[in-house]
Amino acid sequence: MEPMRKLEITHLNLSGIDPLEYKVLVLPEKVEEKTKGGILLPDEVKERDQHAAMCGKLVAMSPLAFSYEENAPKPDVGDTLIFARYAGVIIKGADGLDYRIMNDKDVVGVRRG
């Protein structure tokens, strides 16, 4: 009998959202709630800044995502992506977090390390 192999899970998609076509699902980095001086930012400013966020963790991607060029490197689930400002749409996941779903071509880079 063969020993069972241990599966390594880097990130679970608890959002309940599965991207289709050439889309990716990203959990944007949280914006600061205070200024460096300790002043609390109004909700309107936080919401605007969150929508303008340009980095986030790749949670899920469709099988077609990043398939437009054979030799281009593909990011892995769990990687931090850099994407176009205001790219895609923001949607609340089943876990209560705000996710951004966008086209794979809106991703401009992957942050390593």
Residues 6+ apart with CB under 8 A from 21: 62, 64
User: Would you place residue 81 in the very low, low, confident or very high pLDDT band (cuts 50, 70, 90)?
Assistant: very high
* CATH match for 23-111 among 2.60.410.10, 3.10.510.20, 3.10.20.90, 2.30.33.40: 2.30.33.40
CB 93 within 8 A of CB 16: yes
Nearest to 83 by CA among 59, 63, 100, 69: 100
* Gap between the Cα atoms of 44 and 68, Å rounded: 38
* Gap between the Cα atoms of 107 and 109, Å rounded: 6
Q: List pLDDT tens digits, range 34-52.
A: 667 777 767 676 566 555 5
User: Would you place residue 7 in the very low, low, confident or very high pLDDT band (cuts 50, 70, 90)?
Assistant: very low
